Amino acid sequence: MSLSLSAEQPAVPDVADDGVWLECIECGETFAPFDDVRYTCDECGGLLEVRYADLPTFDDFEGHGVWRYAAALPFEAGVSIQEGATPLYEVPRLEDEIGIEALRIKHEGMNPTGSFKDRGMTVGVQVAKELGVGRLACASTGNTSAALAAYGTRGDMETLVLLPAGKVAAGKIAQASLHDARILEVDGNFDACLDIVQELAAKGEVYLLNSLNPFRLEGQKTIGLEILEGFLTDYDTVPDRIVLPVGNAGNTSALYKAFRELVQAGELDEDDVPKLTGVQADGAAPMVEAIENDADEVRRWDDVETRATAIRIGNPVNAPKAIPGIRETGGTAVAVSDEEITDAQRALAREGIGVEPASAASVAGLRKLRASGVVDDDERVACLTTGHLLKDPDAAAAAGGDPEPVPADTDDILEHLQQ
């Protein structure tokens, strides 16, 4: 199977352009990368992956941010706003409380628009330029639209975003709006928005930049590469496990692909690949259901609900790439309640790290898996926090304490502070 960790590097097909091509993960059909607009396989409808004649080695990486990893990407540079190079925070109190050897927080909220989506867009919008398309579009729970709007306008292209009405956090809509996207609020959930934008893309109206687009996942691979380099520098070893929130499972797929390519290049031992561990909210957990049932396909959940709106997704489009990633690395998937998510959001905040609810799912999931003994106390773990606290100011305010009204008088305030 093409997605196994021990897969051989395939022969370079005639359609390759400068050593880059697209390959269907289901039937193996290959396609030229930049001749036509294509998101899925013409033959069987399967998901596509970007493949390279030359695989990256650690020695190839130089520079800063996403484009440090150009050797693992289809271009030398893209439409950039200095994305990537996010912090890998130490969290000593949380590490003690959870009871593991080492815990680091890879805070993707520190990207230009406040989420990891920027890493995908710097590559995806560059592909749009290569293809010469006019209008870019996405369906979004919020962060994809913020990133697409910023990178689209930076690349001098029009952007259209479809959002589920009433279900997108305030900061994200504000970003899409100010960065000049045309915003359509759809009377339906995220999955309905994605169905529609896929139809618009099929009619040639827009270029689709959801994570179904294989080039976006190339940019997101760099999260995994940064985590590996950070652990190698600080601990002289790669992490045992990476825990991450799962919505459409793009990141899970991207990290797995990054590690698979390093294994194929002989840069990483198959047994050392970090265990990919996905976390969903109880009210939107189709991937967890599939992993628990050992199923190859995900059952679409039509009714999803969680205050972690960024992962309020019932039909994870990248599941066929992500499920092998979780299985082959010996990882797992777990669901957590909204209360557990908010508790984890507060615990991160106590360490000075401000994240939006979906991001905190990773820490909530790790806590749960450590408590149940699935995660051992001798593990070194990286948790991914995907978006910044200010993305969802309402959720942050609700999770924090209330302001106390006082008169504008020092003596009254001193008296108030005694209470």
Ligand X SMILES: *Cc1c(COP(=O)(O)O)cnc(C)c1O
Stretch that binds ligand X, among 32-40, 180-188, 241-249, 404-412 (CB under 6 A): 241-249
251 in a known ligand binding site: yes
387 part of the interface to ligand X, by CB under 6 A: yes
Residue 289 pairs with which residues in a beta bridge?
Answer: none
Strand stretches in 44-101, DSSP E: 48-52, 88-90
143 in a known ligand binding site: yes
User: Where does this chain bind Zn ion (CB under 5 A)?
Assistant: 24, 26-27, 29, 41, 43-44, 46
Minimal distance, residue 101 CB to ligand X, in Å: 26
Minimal distance, residue 43 CB to Zn ion, in Å: 4
Binding partner of 387, given Zn ion, ligand X, none, CB within 5-8 angstroms per partner class: ligand X
Q: Which of residues 308-347 bind ligand X (CB under 6 A)?
A: 310-311
CB-based contact 277:252 (threshold 8 Å): no
Minimal distance, residue 285 CB to Zn ion, in Å: 28
Among 23, 49, 240, 356, binds ligand X (CB under 6 A): 356
353 part of the interface to ligand X, by CB under 6 A: no
Instruction: Determine if residue 145 is left, alpha or beta; phi over 0 gives left, psi from -120 to 50 gives alpha, anything else beta.
Output: alpha
258 part of the interface to ligand X, by CB under 6 A: no
386 in a known ligand binding site: yes
Please provide the distance, in angstroms rounded to a whole number, between the alpha carbons at the two ends of the chain: 66
Binding partner of 228, given ligand X, Zn ion, none, CB within 5-8 angstroms per partner class: none
245 part of the interface to ligand X, by CB under 6 A: yes
Q: What is the CA radius of gyration of the chain?
A: 21
What DSSP state is assigned to residue 81? S
Binding partner of 359, given Zn ion, ligand X, none, CB within 5-8 angstroms per partner class: ligand X
115 part of the interface to ligand X, by CB under 6 A: yes
Binding partner of 211, given Zn ion, ligand X, none, CB within 5-8 angstroms per partner class: ligand X
Q: Which of residues 34-93 bind ligand X (CB under 6 A)?
A: none
Tell me the C-alpha distance between 85 and 64, whole Å: 6
CB-based contact 298:316 (threshold 8 Å): yes
CB-based contact 183:157 (threshold 8 Å): no
**Token reading at 260:** 């698979």
> Among candidates 395, 293, 296, 281, which has minimal Cα distance to 348?
395
Minimal distance, residue 320 CB to Zn ion, in Å: 11
Among 358, 363, 383, 395, binds ligand X (CB under 6 A): 358
Strand stretches in 41-199, DSSP E: 48-52, 88-90, 102-107, 135-139, 158-164, 182-186
Stretch that binds ligand X, among 66-74, 245-253, 342-350, 399-407 (CB under 6 A): 245-253
Among 159, 222, 306, 359, binds ligand X (CB under 6 A): 359
Tell me the C-alpha distance between 36 and 166, whole Å: 36
Residues 6+ apart with CB under 8 A from 139: 161, 162, 163, 190, 193, 194, 196, 197, 210
111 part of the interface to ligand X, by CB under 6 A: no
Binding partner of 247, given ligand X, Zn ion, none, CB within 5-8 angstroms per partner class: ligand X
248 in a known ligand binding site: yes
In whole angstroms, what separates CA 99 from the centre of its chain? 26
Binding partner of 115, given ligand X, Zn ion, none, CB within 5-8 angstroms per partner class: ligand X
Apex 300 CA angle, 297 and 305, nearest 5: 135
Tell me the C-alpha distance between 217 and 207, whole Å: 16
Binding partner of 245, given Zn ion, ligand X, none, CB within 5-8 angstroms per partner class: ligand X
Closer Cβ to ligand X, 16 or 255, answer by number? 255
Q: Write the CA distances from 61 to 140, 212, 368, integer angstroms.
A: 32, 27, 36
Among 86, 159, 211, 277, binds ligand X (CB under 6 A): 211
250 in a known ligand binding site: yes
Residue 276: enclosing H or E segment and its boundaries?
A: strand 275-281
- Helix, strand or coil for residue 169? coil
Closer Cβ to ligand X, 265 or 281, answer by number? 281
Phi and psi at 381, nearest 5°, equal: -125, 140
Minimal distance, residue 314 CB to ligand X, in Å: 12
* Residue stretches of the annotated binding site for pyridoxal 5'-phosphate: 143, 247-251, 386
Contacts with ligand X, residue ranges (CB under 6 A): 115, 117, 143, 211, 245-251, 310-311, 356, 358-359, 386-387
* Residue stretches of the annotated binding site: 143, 247-251, 386
